Structure 1
Amino acid sequence: MDFSSQPRFFRRGTTPLTRLIACGSLSLALMVTDSRLHLLEHIRETVAVALYPLQWLVNTPIEAAVRASDFFTAQAVLERENHTLRNEQLMLSAKLQRLANLEQENRELRSLGGLKPQKQGHEQFAEILYQSRDPFTRKLIIDQGDQSGIQPGMPVIDAHGLLGQVSRVAPLTSEVTLITEKDSAVPVMVSRNGLRALLFGTGGGVEVRFLPSTADIEANDLLVTSAIDGTYPPGLAVARVLKVEHNVGGAFARVICTPLGEVDRGRFALVLQQQPELPAPPPEPVPKPQKKKNRRAGGDE
């Protein structure tokens, strides 16, 4: 009998619901079998190998467009960076020429005044390996140690400002205590007027303490090392003043600052292998023994 000539009303077969249940059961059985027995891995691998040329053909134009866009973007970024670096090099060259003239004048003035010439040291490039594992300290570990001439107390800087000083030295590594370490002190002065002060670490930032409320210090002032402690050379950028709070009735002002050195980021640093040789302080005067006066009871001598 030719079923194709019969109307659809008189045709008999499986219902759509039955076919849906059968297909769903078959799919579920295949998934369970594949997850437990891994029977379809070879089939998937074969299909993947067979479809790889088609996938490559479809993805190649998209990848080519992405690579071309990245190439032109990288070229534009490199050109901008190159232009910026050229400008910075020109400005630094001009500053270096002025600095050389100032250093020559400084040497002549110190010679005329009979002062000792300042000792010039050299710098040691170092890479920051990791931060101290103690979460309550602000210390870094660098890849230069005793074999490179590093000694405790040497200042450590980066391209922006002071980071801290070397606190412990091993043969191949060194520990650097940051200026943000709690209660660490750095003698500084305001570059605008030469006002001397002490910069203390707070565990996460820095602030100036024990400064009189009438002191001439303002927001945005630059703080540099004053070199009066014999540890840091003069003129290193340390911090910038953010806010000055004057307490009513208080003797001291609260000066909140932000460190200029990248104390919480960055990978490279410079160890200044120079420590000023300061003369020993004058000896303290020996107190003279007081003469005891002998007095007789009931009258003078």
Structure 2
Amino acid sequence: MVLCAMLAAALMYADARFTRMEPVRAQLSTLVAPIQWVVSLPSDVLNWGALALSEQRALVDENRRLREQILTLSHRVQRMASLTAENVRLRELLAATRERDIPYITAELLSLDPDPFTHQMVIDRGRRDGAYVGQPVLDASGLVGQVTAISAYSSRVLLLADASHALPVQINRNGLRFVVQGVGSYEALNVQHAPDTADIREGDLLTTSGLGGRFPPGYPVARVSSVIHDPGEPFARVTAAPVAQLQRSRHFLLLFPPAMPIAPPEGELAAPALEAARAVSGALVNEETR
């Protein structure tokens, strides 16, 4: 034992004082590596088994949730089939224009803004993919926000929760229109200037109204969580919770809604109107002379 201790001290001294011991140490590390691997093998096997069991349990739970979700969605699809057919018949009866499917592309989360006073994220779609400033962004549950800046391969998205974000919405139940604004929290949105006598209730679904031409109509935005009536105040305090999973979603959809028709300038509109008025007045004069 004393001999081994003296040999170890001599080796440590030689390793500290001379550089020639580095190749020897490297060779010894190579020789010892299989022994270290064999010694650590039982613990690695146990860790792998525990991880595999936990992942399997998580997969089983996720599979169960997905099956329940499939059943729920299939029930809704069965109901929506008849409603869609009825909607088509009514549109044909009224000679209304048929709604077109909105094209989209998928995107994935790259990073979140670390600033606690802003609510923004970066996604992996950019100018080369057709993304543009003002483009609506959705997840599997509802509206997430809109694109505010783009680069060649990525885009920055302003979330609904940001205090600087507002958009027009309507109540899905009765069509009343309001403006929803973020408050800097992922869990709440403010419904601005809701009259105290307005027919708005807890649980009402707020969807995009299509006003302003940026967000297409009909996409879910939030659900009313509280309505507080203050006696003597003209407006009620209405709070809504976003339906989108702003803190958990990693995959998104970027919509490409059709361009809104733009009204012609005043000068271009005046000439055809003037010609039509002259034609009508000329026809009236001819009838009077007859």
Give the TM-score normalised by structure 2.
0.71
Say whether the 8 Å CA contact 2:15–2:22 is kept in structure 1: no
Q: 1:270 aligns with which of 245, 253, 264?
A: 253
Residue 130 of structure 1: CA displacement?
2.5
Residue 110 of structure 1: CA displacement?
1.9
Residue 82 of structure 1: CA displacement?
2.3
Say whether the 8 Å CA contact 1:212–1:253 is kept in structure 2: yes
**Matched residues in 1 for 2:264 and 2:82: separation?**
33
The number of aligned residues is 257
Residue 264 of structure 1: CA displacement?
3.6
Matched, 1:130 2:111: yes
Matched, 1:180 2:161: yes
**Matched residues in 2 for 1:179 and 1:145: separation?**
20
Matched, 1:91 2:72: yes
**Matched residues in 2 for 1:89 and 1:273: separation?**
27
Letter in 2 for 1:163: V
Change (3 A) 1:100 1:68: same
Say whether the 8 Å CA contact 1:163–1:263 is kept in structure 2: yes
**Matched residues in 2 for 1:119 and 1:171: separation?**
29
- Residue of structure 1 in register with 2:44 after alignment: 63
Matched, 1:201 2:182: yes
Q: 1:148 aligns with which of 129, 148, 156?
A: 129
Larger radius of gyration: 1
- Residue of structure 1 in register with 2:196 after alignment: 213
Residue 61 of structure 1: CA displacement?
3.4
- Residue of structure 1 in register with 2:230 after alignment: 247
Residue 148 of structure 1: CA displacement?
2.2
Q: Please state which structure has a larger fraction of its residues in helix.
A: 2
Letter in 2 for 1:71: A
Q: Is there any run of 5+ residues in structure 2 with no aligned partner, and where?
A: 1-5, 271-290
Q: Is there any run of 5+ residues in structure 1 with no aligned partner, and where?
A: 1-25, 287-301
Identity percentage over the alignment?
37
Give the TM-score normalised by structure 1.
0.68
Change (3 A) 1:278 1:38: farther
Residue 162 of structure 1: CA displacement?
0.7
**Matched residues in 2 for 1:111 and 1:153: separation?**
33
Matched, 1:110 2:91: yes
Matched, 1:233 2:216: yes
Say whether the 8 Å CA contact 1:131–1:140 is kept in structure 2: yes
Q: Which stretch has the larger CA shift, 49-58 or 139-148? A: 49-58
